[in-house]
Every structure is written in C-alpha cells, then in structure tokens.
Structure 1
Amino acid sequence: MNKPLVSVIMPVYNGEKYIKQAVDSVYEQGVSLELLVIDDGSTDHTKEVLSAYEGREGFQYIKNKQNMGAAGSRNRGVKLAKGDYIAFLDADDWWEKGKLKEQLKCLEETGYVLCSTGRELIRSDGSSTGRTIPVKEKITYRELLKHNSINCSSVVIRTDVAREFPMEHDDSHEDYITWLKVLRKYGYAVGIDKPYLKYRLSEGGKSRNKLKSAVMTYNVYRYAGYGRIKSCIFFCSYALHGIWKYCHR
C-alpha cells in the first residue's frame, strides 16, 4: 500500500467480545491508515474474529511470543508503524466517524504534536451512561499534573514523538507518564471537546480497582521525578477530579 498517514495501534488480550466494533470504527474514519493489532497472548477467539480482515490493505495481526503488557504491545506497534501519526485505540473502545479527520486538521493548524478528544462513558454492554468527559482546547503540563485529561484511546500523536517517548512502567498508568513527558518537552497538547471516543467501562480494566489505581497514580508522579510530598499533593488533586468525573455515572 502507499504510505499511510495514520498508523492505528490496537493492543488486545482476549478481546473477542468487543474487537470487531473497534476495528470497524477504525475503517469508518475515511483517512489513509494502517491498522496494527498487537495480540498479547489471547487464549479466546480473538484471532478468529480478526480473520475477517485478513488481506485488507494495511491490516496487520501481530501476536506477541510472550506477554508484553499494554505498554510493551503499544511500543511494538509504534516501532512497526509506517504512518506520520500514531493513533491508539484499545480493543474494547470505539470511535465516532470523523474523529481522525478532525484531529489531523487540528494538529496541522496548531503545530502541536498531540491531540486528544472528549469521551462518552459506555457500560460494558455497549449502552451509554449519559456521561461525557470533556477536554480543554489547550492542555498544559501543569494542568496535566493535576489530573489526566488525555485518554489513550483518544490520542493522535506524531510518530517521531511517540518513538521519542515510549510507554514505560506497566505497573503504573504508563500512558499518563508518557503524556507528561511529551508536554514537559513540547509544552502543550490540543483537545477537541467532542465525545469522539466511546470509552467502555470494562470490568477488567486497570482503573476499575480503585485502590490499585490510586497506588498506580501515585507512582506516576514518583516516576516523573517528584518527591513524596509533591506526589501526594498531585495525587489529591487527581483524586478530586476522579470523584467529579465518575460519581454521577
């Protein structure tokens, strides 16, 4: 195929139930793209579900020889990507039509290196909770320290920048650490406050265990180089934003 504009990276582990909806939403975007599905050792029928896309231009199914985790799987996809931009999408989420077009336009107009969108919270059965999480038009490093307003499945980022800051520390919120590193160097991210991302509240997600998620968030600040006191301050702000986001869902 001709060089794609966007490389979509989709890690999956036992995603047979939801991945078709995710993949179909990628192919409804109407932009030049490739899709790299990184299977992190699925034992269900994920591969069989994806067999329907074999032979489709730009589609690649890549199975890890050993479990690498979400961070390692995304990094593997980024290394193999041919596009100028990377878009991340988890296998249990999906996009509205027009998402990538709007983000590419926004990145070109602003010159920023990363763009995220708002998201709608979806129950595990695919029904809407009626809750949406907004995103600011301009996201600063200081604001991002207080709460992570950048959801990984909403992100489009320049490929060279994604390679410059691979995701690390799978025992933490590895994507949050990466966004902090990106904004620390490049200053800002741009946001589109429309719920282009449909974010499924899966029972098995990292963030569903609140105590574990709290520890992981605290570790983000420690990995970012902050001492215990500052890390606690940032965590308190993060926790307050988390209560605001989810208490009414």
Structure 2
Amino acid sequence: MPEVSIITPCYNSSPFLEETIQSVMNQTFTDWEWLITDDQSTDNSVKIIQKVSDARIVLTISKKNGGAGHARNISLQKAKGRYITFLDADDFWEPRFLEEMVSFMKKEKAEIAYSNYARCDENLVPKIEDFKADTEVTFNNLLKTCRLSLLSSMYDSKRVGKEFFPEGSKREDHVMWLNLLKKIPKGKPLPKTMAKYRMHPTSISRKKQNIVKDQYLVYKDFMKFSTLKSLYYTANWAMNGFLKYSKIFN
C-alpha cells in the first residue's frame, strides 16, 4: 500500500502535461501512487499519460465531463495512501516536495500541512513573489480567503478521513478545505517553496468577477450561513482576492 496518493484531474492539458509528469517522476520520495482522472479531454492528453510506463500511475477516463471536482472525487475513491495530496495537470513540484512534506507531517504530527509556492507564468517563470504559507490556517481565517493551495498541501487521511469535493461548484477546493478544517484546530506550515503554480490570465480562478455568486454559495449553501453573514465573507474574499492577484495583470 503506497504511503502517498497523488490526485490529478486532467482536461485538455497537453501543452503542460509532460512537465507536470516529469516533476512527479523526479520526486526523491518514491512510495506513491498517482491517480489521474481524465475528464473527457478532446486533445492528446490521454496519449501523453499512456506513454509513461510506470505501475504507480493509474489512469481513469471519466464517463462524462463533470469538472475538476468530479474528476478528483473519482481518484479519491480509489486512493489507498495515508497522505493525500493534489497536483493539477499544469502545475509543477520541486523534486523534494513529497519527501519534505511527508517528513514534516510526521515530525509535526500534522493533520494538514502546506508549503510556499512560486507564482509563475505559463512558462514557469516567476511573475511576483512566492505565495508564503500562513503561520496559521484555521477554519475561521480560511473563511475570508482561501489560503490553502491544492498543489502545495497534504493531509493525513488516517486521522481526518477522506474529504470529497462538492461537484458543480467552481469553488470546490475552498469548500473541501473548510470541511477538513472543521475537524481540526489548524493546519501547519512548511515555510519552503516546494511547488510552481501556473497563473493563466484567462483561467476561471482569475476571473473573480464571474464567480462572486459561486463564492457566496460557499457560505450560504455549504456552510449554511445567514444571508448577511454570507455577504460579509463574500466581500472579504473579493477584497483579498483583488489584493492577491491585481499586481500581475495591471
């Protein structure tokens, strides 16, 4: 049974997929399984994955195009590792990411851990300063902004259980982290830059004005907050998101 399960959704990721695959294959920690679910790609993503001959890689083709949350859930259902981590098909890990994260989780007895990550353009060239891991991430401070990134985080499924993503929401990662942090006092930071995040100017996560309603529903529908409380946290999220990314595209 592998110690780490890597969860990856894939959809039309061929321009970046080979670099992502190489970053996993270069990991100094080798006791992992990589569960990739292709979400009905129309490019050659599946062929790129199938060219890699490694028994630790398990490719599943989704029966429908259900979005990233749906694809991650398919992989999560099959995951056997104690430590769960996520890597989107266009992101990149430094070679010691898994080794350092697993070691840190064990040393600190952490249920959730997270590291710094570099914020890069599509060619993995840094755009602005690295995103620094907060000294403390709790349920309460995560309500105002999602300070946890999937590609630089890991959780212990033996201690907190598997947490699945709500399907149909563009903010599924925020809901998932909030649900996990309901179970524990706080996550613990590893203050090293261990990953590279590609910041696409046209990506959904950058078009925040288009998903304000989806963020509001994080609080109203999933956290079951009142309308006023939901509006309060949505306003905080919008302001924090503007401050976080405005330097890049101005």
Kept in 2: contact 1:121–1:129 (CA 8 A): yes
Kept in 1: contact 2:111–2:160 (CA 8 A): no
**Aligned pair count?**
246
SS of 2:43's equivalent in the other structure is: coil
CA deviation string 1:96-142 (max 9, x = no partner) = 12111221122112222111222211112332213321111321111
Structure 1, unaligned stretches of length 5 or more? Answer: none
Q: Percent of counterpart pairs with the same letter?
A: 26
Give 1:161 shift: 6.3
Give 1:42 shift: 0.5
Counterpart position of 1:118: 116
Counterpart position of 1:165: 163
Query: What is the alpha-carbon distance in structure 1 between the residues aligned to residue 75 and residue 236 of structure 2?
Result: 33
Counterpart position of 1:46: 45
Counterpart position of 1:242: 241
Structure 2, unaligned stretches of length 5 or more? Answer: none
Counterpart position of 2:178: 180
Give 1:60 shift: 1.4
Kept in 2: contact 1:9–1:35 (CA 8 A): yes
1:61-210 superposed matches below 5 A: 61-160=59-158, 164-210=162-208
TM norm structure 1: 0.92
Counterpart position of 1:37: 36
1:7-22 superposed matches below 5 A: 7-22=5-20
Query: What is the alpha-carbon distance in structure 1 between the residues aligned to residue 200 and residue 246 of structure 2?
Result: 17
Query: What is the alpha-carbon distance in structure 2 between the residues aligned to residue 243 and residue 149 of structure 1?
Result: 14
TM norm structure 2: 0.91
Kept in 1: contact 2:160–2:183 (CA 8 A): no
SS of 2:219's equivalent in the other structure is: helix
TM-aligned CA distance change 1:53 to 1:175, over 3 Å? same
Alignment RMSD: 1.7
Moved more, 143-152 or 154-163: 154-163
